[in-house]
Amino acid sequence: MSVYSTTGCKVEYTAAGVGGAAGAYTQLLGWAEGTLTFTMETVDVTKVGDTDRALTYGIRSGGFTGTIIYDPANHKYLETLVSSGAANTWRWTTIPAAGGTGGAAANTYVASSMITDFAVTIASAEVVRANITVKFVGAVTYST
């Protein structure tokens, strides 16, 4: 098996304009941690008389939650995305190109997404951070 370092993992979004197509990506700076989630709802289609539960697929959804070291100078565009409510193209690189053993190609996910939650957190003896939640709008393109 291979083990991959997080060095080179990236979160990026298009900065060409709110709702802009994939193109010029801006890297999310000060990214401290995050989770990329893919969820599929299921519909229970088990019938009377079945001995095993049966499921069929439903709506796919997902998104990203992450924590950033908040800097208004770097993250002003996120505020713009929050206030506009519009979807934008985001790209997540979970395994960078040539990362780890045998990782010749980058492992990326691209999706039109919108920021649904932006929370600035303040605590004693800490630096200012922000938690962001991004939800997919439409399908996710996976490439490796």
Partner 1 sequence: MATIETAIRVMLTTHMGNSTVADARITHGYRLQNSVLPAVTFVVDSTTCVTVDCLLNQSTVTVTGVAVTTLAANNLGADINAGFVAGTYDSIKIYAPVRNATTLDAPEVGDGDEQTPATITLTFDVYWSV
Told to check if 25 binds partner 1 by CB under 8 A, we report no
- Closest C-alpha to 126, from 67, 82, 74, 78: 67
Told to check if 56 binds partner 1 by CB under 8 A, we report no
Q: Using the rule CB under 8 A, which residue among 21, 24, 33, 42 binds partner 1?
A: 33
- At residue 69, φ and ψ (nearest 5 deg) are -80, 110
Residue with tokens 């304009």: 17
The DSSP code sequence of 35-60 is EEEEEEEEEE---TT-SS--EEEEEE
Q: Which stretch binds partner 1 (CB under 8 A): 28-36, 79-87, 111-119, 132-140?
A: 28-36
Q: Which stretch binds partner 1 (CB under 8 A): 49-57, 103-111, 123-131, 132-140?
A: 123-131
Q: Which stretch binds partner 1 (CB under 8 A): 30-38, 39-47, 49-57, 105-113?
A: 30-38
